[in-house]
């Protein structure tokens, strides 16, 4: 079969003899491949980074228009902290800072809950052996692949019906920080579980066996041996949860009530109304923030890799 396929492109010689035409063609293919492999990644990286770099550069541009460069300025940064953005847009620095505070509060509580739940379920999947483990595994997989908008809509319906029922019974309940945090835990817990579980996979189980052999109780083994070893995984899982929560727009958009506007929801409001250089400044600050967080998470994981190879 292979011969028939080969025969279609170049006649196969059964004696050992050089087919100079084929060699020349193959060398040309290799050269073309090499050139392609130089240009394709350049184009790829350019595509990934150009918008980010342009955004940052133009947040310092003295001109209001992106089309021209009129020199360096910090005016837009100073504007967003002095209640100014654009000529006609209504902008409030206190609203911006308040939404930032809300985002941070939500991200911290989300991180605490989903790190605890995610670490436990990650450990149970890595070390446990119980009926229904496959179901747990697939259940954790679902929030990662179900579109965010479906999650947002389903929780909106869910809370609306529950709150209606509660109001019908004289209890007061409204969407706000609590509903947002609940939604954020749903889509961050899986990420923590994945990272923690991967950390378990890298760990030598003999160390735990040794602790058990030396008479340590499972509880003591966990806190003295297992937990310190998985801690970098727990921290980087927590940082991912924090970043995901801080950056989330879609789920938050559906779950936020009055007075629970987060920074992304606030920025989305600005983006819908106008394009001003001040938005570039806010966006640059947000980019720097998430870059720092992810940088820390990656360094933590990178250190693991170094430890693993040593």
Partner 1 sequence: MAFNIDLSSSSGYDPREKRRGGLLALPAVLWLAIFFIIPLLFVVGISFMTRGTRGAFISPELTLDNYARIFSPTYFSVFVKSIWIAVLTTIICLIAGYPLAFFVATRKSRWAANLALFLVILPFWTNFLVRTYAWRLILGNEGLINAVLVGLGIVEQPVQFMFTDFAVQVGLVYGFLPFMVLPIYATIERFDFRLVEAANDLGANDIRAFLRVVLPLTMPGVIAGCILVFIPAIGSFITPELLGGNQGLMIGSLIQRQFGGTGNWPLGAAASVVMMGIVMLALMVYAFASSRRK
Pick between residue 79 and residue 301 the one whose CB is nearest to partner 1.
301
- 8 Å CB contact between 242 and 104: no
Rounded to the nearest 5 degrees, what angle is found at the Cα of 268, between the Cα atoms of 99 and 247? Answer: 65
Helix axes 133-145, 177-201, angle to 10 degrees: 120
Least distance in angstroms from the C-beta of 224 to partner 1: 12
Least distance in angstroms from the C-beta of 82 to partner 1: 22
Pick between residue 109 and residue 200 the one whose CB is nearest to partner 1.
200
Least distance in angstroms from the C-beta of 90 to partner 1: 19
Q: Residue 285: name the closest of 269, 267, 268, 273 by CA.
A: 267
User: Strand, coil or helix: what is 288?
Assistant: helix
Neighbours of 40 (CB within 10 A): 10
Q: Which residue has the tokens 């620095």?
A: 93
- 8 Å CB contact between 80 and 267: no
Pick between residue 98 and residue 290 the one whose CB is nearest to partner 1.
290
Least distance in angstroms from the C-beta of 134 to partner 1: 8
Neighbours of 58 (CB within 10 A): 18
Least distance in angstroms from the C-beta of 259 to partner 1: 18
Least distance in angstroms from the C-beta of 234 to partner 1: 14
Residues in contact with 246: Cβ distance below 8 Å, sequence separation at least 6, in sequence order: 103, 104, 107, 263, 289, 290, 293
Least distance in angstroms from the C-beta of 60 to partner 1: 13
82/74 Cα distance (integer angstroms): 13
Residues in contact with 193: Cβ distance below 8 Å, sequence separation at least 6, in sequence order: 118, 119, 121, 122, 125, 140, 237
Helix axes 227-247, 93-127, angle to 10 degrees: 140
Pick between residue 29 and residue 307 the one whose CB is nearest to partner 1.
29
């Amino acid at each position: 079969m292979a011969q028939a396929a080969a025969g279609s492109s170049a006649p196969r010689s059964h004696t050992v003899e050089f087919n100079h035409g084929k060699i020349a063609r193959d060398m040309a293919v290799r050269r073309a491949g090499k050139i392609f492999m130089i240009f394709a990644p350049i184009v790829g990286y350019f595509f990934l980074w150009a918008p980010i770099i342009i955004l940052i550069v133009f947040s310092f541009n003295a001109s209001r228009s992106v089309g021209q460069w009129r020199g360096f300025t910090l005016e837009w940064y100073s504007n967003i902290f002095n209640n100014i953005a654009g000529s006609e847009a209504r902008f409030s620095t206190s609203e911006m800072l308040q939404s930032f505070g809300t985002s941070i509060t939500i991200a911290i509580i989300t991180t605490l809950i989903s790190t605890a739940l995610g670490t436990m379920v990650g450990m149970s999947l890595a070390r446990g052996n119980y009926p229904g483990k496959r179901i747990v595994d697939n259940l954790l997989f679902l929030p990662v692949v179900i579109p965010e908008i479906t999650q947002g809509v389903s929780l909106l319906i869910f809370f609306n019906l529950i709150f209606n029922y509660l109001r019908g019974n004289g209890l007061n309940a409204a969407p706000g920080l609590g509903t947002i945090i609940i939604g954020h835990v749903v889509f961050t817990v899986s990420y923590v579980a994945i990272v923690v579980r991967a950390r378990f996979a890298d760990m030598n189980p003999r160390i735990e066996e040794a602790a058990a052999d030396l008479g340590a109780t499972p509880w003591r083994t966990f806190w003295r041996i297992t937990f310190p070893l998985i801690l970098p995984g727990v921290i980087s899982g927590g940082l991912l949860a924090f970043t995901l929560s801080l950056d989330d727009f879609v789920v938050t958009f559906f779950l936020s009530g009055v007075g629970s506007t987060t920074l992304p929801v606030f920025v989305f409001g600005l983006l819908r109304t106008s394009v001003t250089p001040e938005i570039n400044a806010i966006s640059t600050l947000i980019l720097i923030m998430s870059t720092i967080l992810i940088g820390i998470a990656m360094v933590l994981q990178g250190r693991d890799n170094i430890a693993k190879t040593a």
